[in-house]
């Protein structure tokens, strides 16, 4: 009796085996308990071998991990941009669960008595609550700056995108496993939390040096520090340019449409 081949439900190609030779779709099988078990096993295996493997190596040596990924060692690693999104989501969920927003509001008010409640609420709600996603959105901008700062060191702009994605993962992991626990367990001591929060910003240059020293292991400490100084100077220059641009826009609005500016100020 002649065997009748099934057609792929995705592209219509005849399937001779368990997978479609054209699009890779698995042969149709009705969903039952074995399907659910197989999916759970596949998810657990991929998560363990990809997600946790990447997180572990980023913690141990983020720069070296990124370098190996760019040089082709990718099969065991989670995709860097997907990893950045997942870690950012975990950071926001954990921040909400631990009430980091309320803890930081108390710390800011305790450290700055003259700051208005409206400003503190806007800052914690609009910036701190979504800090990791804001930094994620700025990856293309930071990649342009690192491309300029580390020019002639061999990486193109798109590789700098991956590098900055890995650093974002590294920083987010530091927030999750170091700073969030401190904030939570010291929530009744807002002054100390304010100091730790300030430290989290000052520690970024150290994390950047650690990252780039691992990535450019063949480069001297002096040369890496020099490139990082250029990177920070570029950030300052960009901030000044943006400020001047906003100022010019404000002046033009005031001249061309003073009523609009008055309405914005009254709000």
Whether 1 has a pLDDT exceeding 50, the answer reads no
pLDDT of residue 163: 94
pLDDT of residue 24: 64
Which backbone phi and psi does 58 adopt, to 5 degrees?
A: -65, -40
pLDDT of residue 160: 94
Query: Hey, where are the domains in the chain?
Result: 1-30, 38-219
Instruction: Check if the beta carbon of residue 250 is closer than 8 Å to that of residue 262.
Output: no
- According to DSSP, the residues that pair with 7 across neighbouring strands are 14
What is d(CA 110, CA 140) in angstroms, rounded to the nearest whole number? 36
| 55-84 mean pLDDT | 87
What is d(CA 123, CA 137) in angstroms, rounded to the nearest whole number? 18
What is d(CA 39, CA 51) in angstroms, rounded to the nearest whole number? 17
SS3 per-residue string spanning 33-67: HHHHHHHHHHHHHHHHHHHHHHHHHHHHCHHHHHH
What is d(CA 8, CA 104) in angstroms, rounded to the nearest whole number? 55
Q: What is the pLDDT of residues 204-262, one digit of tens each?
A: 899 999 999 999 999 999 999 999 999 999 999 998 998 888 778 777 766 766 665 55
Closest C-alpha among 10, 155, 166 to residue 87: 166
What is d(CA 239, CA 217) in angstroms, rounded to the nearest whole number? 31
What is d(CA 93, CA 129) in angstroms, rounded to the nearest whole number? 10
pLDDT of residue 2: 46
Q: What is the pLDDT of residues 93-135, one digit of tens each?
A: 888 888 877 777 777 776 665 666 666 565 555 556 567 677 8
Share of the chain above pLDDT 70, in %: 70
Answering whether pTM is above 0.75, one says: no
């Amino acid at each position: 009796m002649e065997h009748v081949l099934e057609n792929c439900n995705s592209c219509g190609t005849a399937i001779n085996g368990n997978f479609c030779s054209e699009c890779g779709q698995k042969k149709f099988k009705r969903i039952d308990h074995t399907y659910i078990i197989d999916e759970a096993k596949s998810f657990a295996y991929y998560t363990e071998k990809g997600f946790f493997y990447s997180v572990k190596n980023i913690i141990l040596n983020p720069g070296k991990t990124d370098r190996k990924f760019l040089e082709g060692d990718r099969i065991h690693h989670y995709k860097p941009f997907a990893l950045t999104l997942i870690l950012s989501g975990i950071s926001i969920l954990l921040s909400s669960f631990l009430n980091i927003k309320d803890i930081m509001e108390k710390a800011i008010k305790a450290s700055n008595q003259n700051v208005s409640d409206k400003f503190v609420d806007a800052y914690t709600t609009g910036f701190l609550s979504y800090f990791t996603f804001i930094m994620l959105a700025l990856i293309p901008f930071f990649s342009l700056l690192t491309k300029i700062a580390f020019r002639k060191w061999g990486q193109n702009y798109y590789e700098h995108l991956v590098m900055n994605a890995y650093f974002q993962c590294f920083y987010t992991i530091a927030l999750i496993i170091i700073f969030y626990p401190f904030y939570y367990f010291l929530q009744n001591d807002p002054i100390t939390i304010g100091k730790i929060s300030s430290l989290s910003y000052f520690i970024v240059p150290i994390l950047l040096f650690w990252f780039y020293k691992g990535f450019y292991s063949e480069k001297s400490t002096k040369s890496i520090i020099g490139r990082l100084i250029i990177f920070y100077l570029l950030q300052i220059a960009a901030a000044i340019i943006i400020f001047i641009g906003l100022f010019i826009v404000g002046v033009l609005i005031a001249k061309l449409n003073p009523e609009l500016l008055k309405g914005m100020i009254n709000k």
